[in-house]
Amino acid sequence: MPAAIEIINLTKTYRSLFGLRQVTAVDNLNLHVDEGEVFGFLGPNGAGKTTTIKILLGILYPSSGECKLFGEQFTSSSAFAPETADSRLKASIGYLPEGPYFHEFLTGREVLAFYGRLYGLGGQNLKKRISETLEIVGMEYAADRLVQHYSKGMRQRVGLAQALLSDPKLLILDEPTVGLDPIARREIRDLLLKLKGLGKTLFICSHELSEVEMVCERIGIVNHGKLIKYGKLVDLAFKDRAVEIHVASLSDETRKKLEALNCITGKHETGLTSIRLPARQAVYDVLDVLKASSTDVVEVLSQKESLEDLFIRTVKEEVA
Amino acid sequence: MKSWKEWLAFGALALAFLIPISLLQSGIDGDEARVLFLRWIDNQEAYEGQLLQKITGGTDDRTVEEKDLFKNVEDVGESLNSGFRRLSVREKWNTLHNRQFEPFYEQFQRLAGQAKIKAVEGQIEWSNPDVSANVGALVLGFRKLVADLLWLKVDQYWHLGMVQRMLPAMETVVTLDPHFIEAYALGAWHLAYNVTVMFHSLDEKMKYIDQGIHLLEKGIKSNPRNSKLYAELGFTIYFRKMGDWEKAAYYLGEATKYEHEPWVERAYALSLERLLQEEKALAVLEDYDRRHPELVMQQLSMARLRKKLEARQVEKDGDLEHALRIWDFLRTDDPGDVVAPKEFLRIKHLLSEQHRGASRD
Amino acid sequence: MNSIVIGLNAYRESIRKKTLIAFLLFAMLVIGTSTFLTVLSPGEEIKMVKDVCLSSISFFGMLIAVFGAGALIPQETDNRTIHTILSKPMRRITYLLGKYLGAQLTILLNLGLMAVLFLVILYLQSRRYVDESQAPFSATALVTMKAMVLVFFEMLVLSALALAVSTLSTSATLPVIVGIFIYIVGHSVNYLKNLSEHAPSEFMSIIIRQFYLILPNFSNFYLRNQLIHNDPYVPQGILKLFAYAFLYAAFGLLIAYLLFRKKDM
């Protein structure tokens, strides 16, 4: 089975009007996303994420390298190439743009009808598709209101509905949660998980890491057009996670025993006493000690390095 | 390499558009030039007609080349179609596409480029850089509108009594819009009537009437198929202002050849009547009566014309007494008739001669 | 098919644009009040009305064409709707043609409204001044429609060129300014023809003439002035003008496509 996305040595250079100045937005990028996977594409602003997405969508043409979707490539870089293959390919991708804007004078349903017709849908088929997607994104209640009265979250959901119209195998989402309030953010995240459950491949592009962390299996971090970190989230961020145990109180005797095991004890702001373990492997030894002294264990926490830390560390390393 | 080929393909595609575009543009220009040629022919015919009547004030101001060219064109036209002069615009247009006209057309273009063709004004501007109508292009297709606005200015000057300012403005109006019929007509009327009353010397009056005539003649040059200008020149100027029946009859006659208002024919008949051509006048009115049975004005005139013809017949038969009675009736019946009193006096004179001769005998 | 969807969308969007509505209202105002102008010029009422109306229709038609066609693509680039639309299964040429179609619908609607008002004014005028030899109103209406068609031909070309310029721009300002400039140039190219006839050398003359022949020439459509005043000297008809407008619009769209097909969005 071919990969959903296969990017090989992709380079994109923008030229100024007369070709005097060049800016490299994407530099020799290699990427691989399997079908059914949720991939997080991360990077600071201006790192080349959007450019990569546009190339994936066939809106931009690469300067060199290739970009295959389900083993196929866009051909329309040649003016005389037939469109049918590209059309089929484009129909298999759904795209949610960053901060989607729709024609303000249309209602949500009309927006979907407009985009649906661009997919060649029509009549009953189109109606059915529209109500299906509206149901998925939970927007039936506001479908006949004008877009200009929509909140940001509602727009985002109509944007998702629009991306789902052709029932695509691959969804490319550009900053799906940016600028939303916590509740809307939560709703969108649930929606993404729902889509994942429907078996879609998700390519999420974001600089809001906490969101990605909660839904993505694999991530790629891009900066200055180059891919600098790439792999499973577990491998990248959860490798050296520390463990912390919170207990109600701690006798001096137990404390000494624990310090002998190289643990660091301290007072937690919640009033609990925290025990920070030197390594994950020490957890059973520590628990044995605590069991022996009948200490009241409140919680055992796995202190992973957050994606945010990873991201900042990686970008800093890159700069250094 | 690939993109190089693509650009070549697009270049070829662009040429595939540009070549037909330039051909079409040449075609459109060609049509326009041919229409100009057609206008020129019509205008020459009108001018020639005036010359034949020997009633154009000045002499023939055309160049030798222009005259020759026109003669050749007319000859070929007549040989192709015996009624060449009387053809409608469309028929003439079709005839002009005959190969035989080709050399004349080219010669016309050449002469126009050398400013040796004077008779068509306004339209010839592009081939003649000296003509101030190039101003027209500065107003981007709104020259008619500009002409209209300037015409309002002329009207304003008139109400302010600034006659000297009216004249150049009027000239500019008709240069900008050579087909502004009302500007010629109204302008000439202003000059011949309203301006002349401001002067007492006959010379001054004649000067402005002449200017009015020139304005109308210029209008006829640019619009040889417009009846209103002929009618205006014939009736308003020559008939009513100058009392020149002969010129009036000629211009009103020309006016009836093109689409005209009904009164033109009645005026034509009236001017013929004053020229003592009663039979012709009657024929005109009878024809008119057939086409306009709903109008009644002509009935009276026709009755009077028949009476006049009867008087002439009676006179020819020798019954002068009877003729005198008829003319006397006509004289008193319509005091506006300038012919009847004269004829009455003439017959009376003849009668008195007869009486004197009889008494001498 | 997609062009039609895009076109109808662009049309729905354009007719809500405040600039275009303002132009239309202003044109309607000028046309509507043209009949008062005739009070100042006794004798030539109909001519004045025709000139004022036709001029304002072509002028505001020009503005509507330039603003209508020139703003479509920059606006969508600006709010990034263009990305969503282009990510749908459709070629860029389809998108361009759709936008052009939408612009034409907008222009047609505006011209249509202006033409209807023009005809109403003409009808009222013809009722007001009953003349012995007036042509029937149907004849006037026919030549008026012909003149309107010529105005539309001009807009067809102008909007295609404005659209071509707009593919280069992210704001509507550039295409509007360039569009108006093209309009001015298109009405002045006859100077070049004049120049080519008086060029110092044969070679220069040919070069200038060729240049003149390929530039857009809007003075071709001056014929509408003659038509509307019933000038008898229009034997050549308007077929060539139609072919010219059609070809030139297609050429404008070709340029638009060349500029747009690989443009980095």
Among the candidates A188, A206, A237, a domain finishes at A237
Q: What angle do CA A164, A58, A117 make, to 5 degrees?
A: 40
Rounded to 5 degrees, φ, ψ at A232 are -70, 140
Asked if the structure places residue C6 within a domain, the reply is yes
Say whether both A30 and A53 belong to one domain.
yes
Domain enclosing residue A137, as ranges: 5-237
Q: How many CB atoms lie within 10 A of CB B248?
A: 27
On average, the pLDDT of chain B sits at 81
Single-letter amino acid, residue A65: G
For residues A249 and A271, the answer to whether their CB atoms sit within 8 Å is no
Asked if the structure places residue C33 within a domain, the reply is yes
Cβ of B179 within 8 Å of Cβ of C229? The answer is: yes
Compute CA distances C1 → C5, C89, C101, whole Å: 7, 12, 12
Rounded to 5 degrees, φ, ψ at B331 are -60, -45
Cβ of B2 within 8 Å of Cβ of A78? The answer is: yes
Residues of C in contact with A54 (CB under 8 A): 83, 265
* Minimum CA–CA partner of A87 in chain C: C89
Percent of chain B with pLDDT over 70: 90
What is the distance between the alpha carbons of residues A275 and A233, in angstroms, rounded to a whole number?
Answer: 27
For residues C117 and C31, the answer to whether their CB atoms sit within 8 Å is yes
Compute CA distances A42 → A3, A58, A74, A106, B227, whole Å: 20, 20, 24, 33, 83
Residue B126 clears pLDDT 60, i.e. is over it: no
Provide the CATH number for the domain around residue A289.
Answer: 3.30.70.1150
Domain enclosing residue C200, as ranges: 2-260
Cβ of B13 within 8 Å of Cβ of C250? The answer is: no
Note whether B137 contacts C: Cβ–Cβ < 8 A: yes
Quote the DSSP letter at residue A37. -
Quote the DSSP letter at residue C88. S
| Alpha carbon C175 to chain centroid, angstroms | 15
Q: What angle do CA A107, A110, A115 make, to 5 degrees?
A: 130
Cβ of A79 within 8 Å of Cβ of B6? The answer is: yes
For residues C181 and C218, the answer to whether their CB atoms sit within 8 Å is no
Q: How many CB atoms lie within 10 A of CB B87?
A: 16
Q: What is the pLDDT along chain C (265 residues), one digit of tens a residue?
A: 788 999 999 998 888 888 899 999 999 999 888 878 766 666 667 788 888 899 999 999 999 999 999 999 998 888 888 888 988 888 888 899 999 999 999 999 999 999 999 999 888 887 776 655 566 788 888 889 999 999 999 999 999 999 999 998 888 899 999 999 999 888 888 878 878 877 888 899 999 999 999 999 998 888 888 888 877 888 888 899 999 999 999 999 999 998 888 787 7
Residues of A in contact with B2 (CB under 8 A): 78
Say whether both A191 and A209 belong to one domain.
yes
Q: Encode pLDDT of B130-171 as tens digits.
A: 444 455 555 667 878 888 888 888 888 888 878 788 888 888
Which chains are within 8 Å of A by 3+ CB pairs?
A: B, C
Which chains are within 8 Å of B by 3+ CB pairs?
A: A, C
What is the distance between the alpha carbons of residues C92 and A58, in angstroms, rounded to a whole number?
Answer: 11
pLDDT (0 to 100) of residue B127: 39
Residue in C230, C225, C176 with CA at minimum distance from that of residue C68: C176
Q: Residues 63 to 122 of C: which have CB under 8 A from any A CB?
A: 79-81, 83-92
Q: Which helix (H) or strand (E) is A9 found in, with range?
A: strand A5-15
pLDDT (0 to 100) of residue A240: 57
CA distance B18 to chain A (A): 21
Q: B with C: how many residue pairs have Cβ under 8 Å apart?
A: 131
For residues A258 and A247, the answer to whether their CB atoms sit within 8 Å is no
Single-letter amino acid, residue A211: E
Asked if the structure places residue A215 within a domain, the reply is yes
Cβ of C2 within 8 Å of Cβ of A100? The answer is: no
Q: Encode pLDDT of B66-85 as tens digits.
A: 888 888 888 888 888 787 88
Among the candidates A197, A222, A237, a domain finishes at A237
User: B4, B5, B6: best mutation site toward chain A, by most A Cβ within 10 Å?
Assistant: B6
Please identify every stretch of chain A with a pLDDT value under 50, giving residue numbers as ranges: none
Residue in C149, C183, C174, C171 with CA at minimum distance from that of residue C62: C183
What is the distance between the alpha carbons of residues A60 and C172, in angstroms, rounded to a whole number?
Answer: 22
What is the distance between the alpha carbons of residues B311 and B287, in angstroms, rounded to a whole number?
Answer: 22
* Minimum CA–CA partner of B6 in chain A: A79
* Domains of chain B in sequence order: 2-129 (no CATH), 131-243 (1.25.40.10), 261-361 (1.25.40)
pLDDT (0 to 100) of residue C179: 94
Comparing A63 with B126, which gets the higher pLDDT?
Answer: A63
Say whether both A105 and A134 belong to one domain.
yes
| Alpha carbon B235 to chain centroid, angstroms | 11
Q: How many CB atoms lie within 10 A of CB B180?
A: 28
In the three-class reduction of DSSP (H, G, I as helix; E, B as strand; rest coil), residue A194 is classed as helix
- Which residue is listed with tokens 């070049």? C192
pLDDT (0 to 100) of residue A304: 61
What is the distance between the alpha carbons of residues A198 and A191, in angstroms, rounded to a whole number?
Answer: 11
Residue among A95, A105, A114 minimizing CB distance to C87: A95
CA distance A48 to chain C (A): 14
Provide the CATH number for the domain around residue A211.
Answer: 3.40.50.300
Q: Encode pLDDT of B188-213 as tens digits.
A: 888 888 888 888 888 888 888 888 88
b/e C91-126 (16+ beta carbons within 10 angstroms → b): bbbbbbbbbbbbbbbbbebbbeebbebbbebbeebb
What is the distance between the alpha carbons of residues A8 and A62, in angstroms, rounded to a whole number?
Answer: 11
The number of domains in chain C is 1
pLDDT (0 to 100) of residue C27: 92
Q: Binning pLDDT at 50, 70 and 90, where does residue B125 land? A: very low
Q: Encode pLDDT of A163-191 as tens digits.
A: 999 889 899 998 888 778 888 888 888 88
Say whether both A119 and A266 belong to one domain.
no
Note whether C173 contacts A: Cβ–Cβ < 8 A: no
Asked if the structure places residue C265 within a domain, the reply is no
Rounded to 5 degrees, φ, ψ at C233 are -90, 60
The number of domains in chain A is 2
